[in-house]
Structure 1
Amino acid sequence: MMQRKLRILGTGKYLPARQVTSEELDERLGKPAGWVLKKSGVKVRYYTEGETVSQMGARAAAEALKEAGLTFADLDCIVCTNSVPEQPIPCTAALIQNEMGHGDSGTPCFDVNSTCLSFLAGLDLISYTMAMGKYKTVLLVAPEIASAGLNYEQSESSILFGDGAAAVVVGISREGETSHILASRMETYGSGYALSEVRGGGTKLPAAAFEASRAADYLFDMQGEALFKKTSKLLPRFMEELFRDAGVGLSELSIVIPHQGSAMAMRLLQHKLGIPDSRLMNIIGNHGNTIAASLPMGLHEAIRQGRLERGNLAAIIGISAGVSLGGIVFEY
């Protein structure tokens, strides 16, 4: 597999001000004290109050650029890697560009959507584009407002999610720098598409056809147990092939950054792969599942906390609606 010379230059993160505790959701759902925390593993998550996806994305992007020591003028491209767009048209990346105050810059913008794996898919795609010389410096932004589409009738899934944004600036590794992507892999099993979906809002059930009697079609719907069973069978072989492609073993990684889907999913991953706590990035307890923002948010925290340093090997891995599995092994 082609080893792409790519270096993470800076990361940024943004969380809304409103904290929603597990105790608050216990009361909202009429559950006994402690039920939400036990079921979700999420003590606190964040919900927006009037903020838009593009506003959150712009704030995370500004932090990532500052961390990288760059300005907007240094960017060759902006890629929004989120799950739910701010509006159907135009692409959310264009709205983020405008929110950053550079709506007349001409900087190319487009979106990559693979639900929870959007950042991983976007990073993979853009790395090949950069390797071919098209772009030198790219901003990937993953802002999500999960709270807008939660169905509280499905209590076990609605309690998992939170809002937030993360951004990553990547560039081509220079002479003497060893940062690169060793391997990437993605598999999709469309037979499981109905296990995690929002049916309404597209052309099949357009917004104009909304009826109160079908409101659930316009909210998030997940068959958690069936999704868990399907992915748990696929994950071990998938990971084995990812590490085979990378030419390294799990024990050589300094940290594994998984999609923060649920506490149960984290336990499954840790058990199946035998990852010790010291090498697993787990932030779900104080963030919740932030959909596509989850992976770059975990990456940001791993760097900020000093758990990922230059020269370290790491992996970002996860599952998403589709059903898809994805992973990237890289040297930071």
Structure 2
Amino acid sequence: MKTRQVKVLGTGAYLPEKRVTAEDMDRRLGKPEGWVYKKSGVKVRHYAENESVSQMGAKAAFAALADAGLEAERLDCIICTNAVPEQPIPCTAALIQSEMKLGDSGIPCLDVNSTCLSFLAGLDLISYLIDAGRYDRVLLVAPEIASVGLNYSQSESAILFGDGAAAVVVGRTPAGESSGIVASRIETYGSGAALSEVRGGGSKLPSIAYEPERIADFLFDMQGEALFKKTSKLLPDFLKKLFGEGGVTLEDVALVIPHQGSAMAMRLLQRKLRIPDDKLMNIIEQHGNMIAASLPMGLHEAIRLGRLKRGDLTAVIGISAGLSLGGLLLEY
């Protein structure tokens, strides 16, 4: 696979002020002290209050632009890569553009949604346009407010999630530099679509059909054990193909950045790949599962903490509703 000449120019993040601890969740759910942390691996997550997805996204976007040393007006495209839009119409990217005071700029905006893999899918797609010279500077924003759609009667899934936003500015790799996407792969198995879903809110079950007695249809529903079993079967072959297409092995990878789905999911990935602790980016304790914001937040934190340096090869890997598996080998 030909390396796509795409470089990460800057990253940024935003977390809401409200912190919800594992102990807070124990009390909310009526569980014994320590139950939430043991089940989820999450010590603290953040919940949004009185702020929108687009407002959070704009804050992360400005942080990424500052990190890249780039003025917002110089962007060629803005892509929102999140799972839950702020509203059905228009695209959330347009709302983020407006929040950034770019509403009359004409900068094209679009959304890419592959639930938890939205950032990976968006970066994969836009990389071809950057590599081809269509765009030079693209902003990918992943803001998520998961807290509004949690079903607390499904305690083992409700305790996993947190809110937040992350953004990444990418551009064409300058001549003489080696940054780029070495390989990428996404596989979807629709036979697992019902294992992780929100049934209400679309055209099949529109908001006008909402009634209090069917609220569960409008909240997040996950069959965790079945999802884990199906993923466990698919993951080894998927990873073998991803690394094979890149012509690399785990030894060549400086850091693995997984989707922070759950502590259990990351243990599965670590075991399947035999990843040593110092090669695994694990931020779930302080963030929880932020849906599509998890992957770019992991990338942002890896760079901020110095765990990923220029020239390093990183494997960005995750699963999402669909059921989809995604992976991207990126030379930072």
Q: Which secondary structure state, in structure 1, belongs to the residue aligned with residue 90 of structure 2?
A: coil
1:172 alignment counterpart: 172
The alpha carbon displacement at 1:115 in A equals 0.1
Q: Match of 2:192, as an amino acid?
A: G
Q: Which secondary structure state, in structure 2, belongs to the residue aligned with residue 306 of structure 1?
A: coil
Deviations 1:71-92 (A, max 9, x none): 1121000000000000000000
Q: Which secondary structure state, in structure 2, belongs to the residue aligned with residue 308 of structure 1?
A: coil
1:236 alignment counterpart: 236
Q: Given that residues 73 and 102 in structure 2 are in contact (C-alpha distance below 8 angstroms), is that contact kept between their aligned partners in structure 1?
A: no
Distance, in Å, in 1 between the alignment partners of 2:264 and 2:311 is: 31
The alpha carbon displacement at 1:37 in A equals 0.4
Q: Which secondary structure state, in structure 2, belongs to the residue aligned with residue 328 of structure 1?
A: strand
Q: Which secondary structure state, in structure 2, belongs to the residue aligned with residue 184 of structure 1?
A: strand
> How many residue pairs end up in the alignment?
332
Q: Given that residues 186 and 324 in structure 2 are in contact (C-alpha distance below 8 angstroms), is that contact kept between their aligned partners in structure 1?
A: yes
Q: Identity of paired residues, percent?
A: 72
2:202 alignment counterpart: 202
1:5 paired with 2:5, answer yes
Distance, in Å, in 1 between the alignment partners of 2:251 and 2:194 is: 35
Q: How does 1:7-46 map onto structure 2 within 5 Å?
A: 7-46=7-46
Scaled by the length of structure 1, the TM-score of the pair is: 1.00
The alpha carbon displacement at 1:300 in A equals 0.1
2:87 alignment counterpart: 87
The alpha carbon displacement at 1:16 in A equals 0.1
Q: State the Cα RMSD in Å.
A: 0.5
1:313 paired with 2:313, answer yes
Distance, in Å, in 2 between the alignment partners of 1:183 and 1:195 is: 28
Q: How does 1:43-122 map onto structure 2 within 5 Å?
A: 43-122=43-122
The alpha carbon displacement at 1:132 in A equals 1.7
The alpha carbon displacement at 1:2 in A equals 2.7
Q: Match of 1:48, as an amino acid?
A: A
Q: Match of 1:253, as an amino acid?
A: V
Q: Which secondary structure state, in structure 1, belongs to the residue aligned with residue 113 of structure 2?
A: coil
2:261 alignment counterpart: 261
1:154 alignment counterpart: 154
Q: Match of 1:288, as an amino acid?
A: G
Q: Match of 2:138, as an amino acid?
A: V
The alpha carbon displacement at 1:320 in A equals 0.1
Q: Which secondary structure state, in structure 2, belongs to the residue aligned with residue 8 of structure 1?
A: strand
The alpha carbon displacement at 1:325 in A equals 0.2
1:143 alignment counterpart: 143
Q: Match of 1:41, as an amino acid?
A: G
The alpha carbon displacement at 1:185 in A equals 0.2
Distance, in Å, in 2 between the alignment partners of 1:25 and 1:310 is: 39
Distance, in Å, in 1 between the alignment partners of 2:5 and 2:129 is: 11
Q: Match of 2:23, as an amino acid?
A: E
Q: Match of 1:247, as an amino acid?
A: G
Q: Match of 1:143, as an amino acid?
A: P
Deviations 1:222-268 (A, max 9, x none): 00000000001100110010000001101111000000000000111
2:225 alignment counterpart: 225
Distance, in Å, in 2 between the alignment partners of 1:108 and 1:196 is: 31
Question: Where in structure 1 do 4 or more consecutive aligned residues deviate above 6 Å?
Answer: none
Q: Given that residues 22 and 34 in structure 2 are in contact (C-alpha distance below 8 angstroms), is that contact kept between their aligned partners in structure 1?
A: yes
Distance, in Å, in 2 between the alignment partners of 1:174 and 1:24 is: 48
Deviations 1:5-51 (A, max 9, x none): 00000000000000000000100000000000000000000000111
Deviations 1:168-192 (A, max 9, x none): 0000001111101100000000000
Q: How does 1:298-309 map onto structure 2 within 5 Å?
A: 298-309=298-309
Distance, in Å, in 1 between the alignment partners of 2:126 and 2:311 is: 22
Q: Match of 2:169, as an amino acid?
A: V
Distance, in Å, in 1 between the alignment partners of 2:200 and 2:114 is: 17
Q: Given that residues 58 and 99 in structure 2 are in contact (C-alpha distance below 8 angstroms), is that contact kept between their aligned partners in structure 1?
A: yes
Distance, in Å, in 1 between the alignment partners of 2:134 and 2:260 is: 32
Distance, in Å, in 1 between the alignment partners of 2:155 and 2:111 is: 31
The alpha carbon displacement at 1:3 in A equals 1.4
2:186 alignment counterpart: 186
The alpha carbon displacement at 1:281 in A equals 0.2
The alpha carbon displacement at 1:133 in A equals 1.6
1:323 alignment counterpart: 323
1:249 alignment counterpart: 249
Deviations 1:257-309 (A, max 9, x none): 00000000011110111000100000000100000000000000000000000
Distance, in Å, in 2 between the alignment partners of 1:317 and 1:74 is: 30
The alpha carbon displacement at 1:201 in A equals 0.1
The alpha carbon displacement at 1:161 in A equals 0.0
